């Protein structure tokens, strides 16, 4: 199976990325854990949990999201960005710089 790296979809003109089954499973598992953390935080608020306890759980959820971003960004650079550069699309570097600036706010 050849992997598409952020290619334009002819029907919708959006960029798409076909991920390996392993990468897809890892990303979805991470998101499901984060979703569970958020539901836990919601329950804590509904049950009048102590503020400091809620804040610690929010910090843990933020760390999990940051970890997700690091994994996804590394994959993007190794596949999409590298492939675009190999194909002579140097504009992808500007796109990456813009993305990094947004992520670092």
Q: Could you give the angle at the alpha carbon of 38 between the alpha carbons of 33 and 42, nearest 5°?
A: 145
pTM of this prediction? 0.82
Residue 15 pLDDT? 85
Domains of the chain: 20-103 (1.20.58.1000)
Q: Could you give the angle at the alpha carbon of 27 between the alpha carbons of 91 and 41, nearest 5°?
A: 115
Residue 42 pLDDT? 98
DSSP 8-state symbol, 6: S
Query: pLDDT higher for 36 or 5?
Result: 36
Residue 1 above 70 pLDDT? no
């Amino acid at each position: 199976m050849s992997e598409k790296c952020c290619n334009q979809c002819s029907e919708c003109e959006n960029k798409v990325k076909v991920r390996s089954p392993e990468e897809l499973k890892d990303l979805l598992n991470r998101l499901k854990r984060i979703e569970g953390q958020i539901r836990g935080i919601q329950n804590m608020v509904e049950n009048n949990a102590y503020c400091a306890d809620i804040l610690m759980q929010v910090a843990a959820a933020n760390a999990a999201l940051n970890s997700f971003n690091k994994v996804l960004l590394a994959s993007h650079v190794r596949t999409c960005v590298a492939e675009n550069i190999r194909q002579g699309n140097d504009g992808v570097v500007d796109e990456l710089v813009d993305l990094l600036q947004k992520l670092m706010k």
